[in-house]
Structure 1
């Protein structure tokens, strides 16, 4: 009797996991992230998980995370892009020159409300053109992506250098700088409103997915499990907003803001920064890329091509033009990342984006994107970027030398790939 019970227990546990549709890989990543945070919080005497450091950690993660969402598509289709850091530098240089040289020469000086949007459009256009050119070389001329983008790593970094003549360009437009992080935030009230709307949207998405599965006669999770997922989503979203709101604006900054309005700072008055515009931009990119991956024909073509390129081509998918599209999307995201990176610095520097190609690839791979193609998630890449940045920030706070930080990040990348290989062998995943 005992033997029968013992034999039934594993089966029951397996059925529960299947019913709840728990992604064990994601749980492992979340667990690793929590361990990293707790360890560094202990080593830094509680400074790692303070609202200030969480705020800084999020804005430092944004540029790499934005590019990592595009790298998922690139790697899923069995390609690689080693030029993203250099492409970021070229887009940043072009936007800096547009703001400080080109637009002022036609009467649009810094401070003009048109400066920032025009510069951003220019940067995105440059990124899209260069990315499409890379995709054309790979898709239509059949040059391996590794070679094309390795050459791009050298070419575009130095194109940016020649564009600026090796000089640092700045300061950049104040409105433009608001996309960099601490210079542009929603404030407490707007952040809470957005957080509540995000919770409602998450609950609606979960319930809509359930109704869709029912309408197609697919199995669904128990109702209580759906509500548990809604509760977890609400706690995570509102907890994140509460943490960012807890990071208070320094008193001297508030005094200057009140003085600029001709007012006096009330005694005891405090104000939190709230959600940075750059993080909001990352959220928009993540949602958009997830919708593209899951709900559009382009997304289905991308994963079908990654799963079996020959079968995809035989089924009528224009894989060559698809490659151009994917690299163009990667270029646009490099342009967006350049906006965030240069706005956070408030100037363009020639070493901006250095080694970002390695960080972006590592974030995507750590996030579960298979180098063999066909498998990858947007949220996994963002979580991978957050884990990477947490490791680097934590080691910097502890006082670890930069060379050793790179050693640790490299080792984590190799271990992540090894764990992914072992996971796929044991679960039979492709």
Structure 2
């Protein structure tokens, strides 16, 4: 992060002295003062700018089909599973490790959860399809499998001293094909209808509830800005000008409510509405429309993002994670149990893989053997593009989520344009290398050792 605090006072004084003179040096000084007072994150601004450019470019090449309510809805739903795992990958990379097995862990967790619903619970336990216990048991199975595999990986890395690269590279091969044997190589369907609600298209809030969530999120954003300001005052730190706080609050509210308005502009197709009414024994009224609204899977992502951010900033575990990533030897000498910490981090990563397995299989309404393929690339790329340093010690949750959105935008846009899959992967790999290069140059410019 760039520290603008020392420059703020000087810039403000320069601006006052030169504002009335009309000199060429006065205007740049005032501009610098404005950005200094807003304390904008240069890296975050760069990612937002990149996302906007990608969206505008693909919107042009698709004749306006990319920036539409329908595509934004689909783009959001497709991003969720990778974004959830990317939040966990931040902690893994911050502590100078890597996890190449996330896609395979997602696959085995999805396989076990699907078999619970379609085979084991109905045939062995006798729970018929539609039983209210099926979905919770399947979800718990996915979470438990992911957590156990993650903890096992962490134990091998932390206590047995095997490099994370080797452990998770082996896991990439092992767990996906264990899942293949569990399902006998078959696609498993149908999945429980309650379970499918977590996938996105089958589980949305509708227009009214979505507006309610949007207003609550807006109020929370304003409260978070105000609370941060009060905390800085309490501890004697300099604060931003009130206009700067109001500007950031206004931007936050505009983005949240604009997103909700966009989702509410996407109506459920008439044929699907008719089937929904017929299932309830009703007839669809003429001219009746209904919006999809906010997907439940996005709410899950928001909850995960808040929880992981709080874990990183407000808990002892989070402080230990970043301290260990910054200097592992010093962290161990200071009394941090780095071996147990490694187990906890990889167990958390596994838990998030299990949660992503629920979201991904529910979105596809089945378990397929190729589920999660190349997700390890997308997850690592999302974290790195989001500003997580491969050298350890630096990373943000919101950056990883934005990185996942950028990655999914690239893939979705290329698919809409008609780019074939091999070239899509070439572009994604190139973007990952370029993002790391940009990160290295950025840190060199700030004088940070890389």
TM-score (norm: length of structure 1): 0.97
Structure-2 residue corresponding to 1:49: 67
Structure-2 residue corresponding to 1:301: 320
Instruction: Say if 2:37 and 2:244, in contact at 8 Å, map to a contact too.
Output: no
Choose the corresponding residue for 1:275, options 281, 294, 299.
294
Structure-1 residue corresponding to 2:112: 94
Aligned residue pairs: how many?
430
Which digits, 9 at most, give the CA deviation of each residue in 1:263-287, with x for residues without a partner? Answer: 3222221110001111111111111
Structure-2 residue corresponding to 1:362: 381
4+ residue stretches of structure 1 with deviation over 4 A?
A: 1-15
CA distance in 2, matches of 1:320, 1:5: 60
Contiguous gaps of at least 5 residues in structure 1: none
Q: Secondary structure at the match of 2:366?
A: coil
Structure-1 residue corresponding to 2:138: 119
Counting only pairs closer than 5 Å after superposition, residues 75-94 of structure 1 correspond to structure 2 as 75-94=93-112
Alignment pair present for 1:69 and 2:87: yes
CA distance in 2, matches of 1:7, 1:422: 29
Structure-1 residue corresponding to 2:13: none
Choose the corresponding residue for 2:422, options 397, 403, 410.
403
Choose the corresponding residue for 1:188, options 207, 211, 235.
207
CA distance in 1, matches of 2:22, 2:247: 32
TM-superposed deviation, 1:5: 5.7
Structure-2 residue corresponding to 1:394: 413
Choose the corresponding residue for 1:213, options 227, 232, 250.
232
Counting only pairs closer than 5 Å after superposition, residues 30-429 of structure 1 correspond to structure 2 as 30-104=48-122, 105-429=124-448
Instruction: Say if 2:385 and 2:403, in contact at 8 Å, map to a contact too.
Output: yes
Contiguous gaps of at least 5 residues in structure 2: 1-16
TM-superposed deviation, 1:342: 0.7
Kindly report the root-mean-square deviation, in angstroms, between the aligned alpha carbons of the 2 structures: 1.7
Moved more, 306-315 or 30-39: 306-315
TM-superposed deviation, 1:13: 4.5
CA distance in 2, matches of 1:127, 1:113: 23
Choose the corresponding residue for 1:19, options 37, 41, 44.
37
Structure-1 residue corresponding to 2:3: none
TM-superposed deviation, 1:348: 0.8
CA distance in 2, matches of 1:45, 1:227: 37
TM-superposed deviation, 1:295: 1.0
TM-superposed deviation, 1:14: 4.3
TM-score (norm: length of structure 2): 0.93
CA distance in 2, matches of 1:192, 1:337: 26
Q: Secondary structure at the match of 2:368?
A: coil
Q: Secondary structure at the match of 1:272?
A: coil
Task: From the superposition, tell whether residues 100 and 260 of structure 1 become closer, same or farther in structure 2 (CA, over 3 Å).
Answer: closer
CA distance in 2, matches of 1:187, 1:4: 54
CA distance in 2, matches of 1:409, 1:57: 16
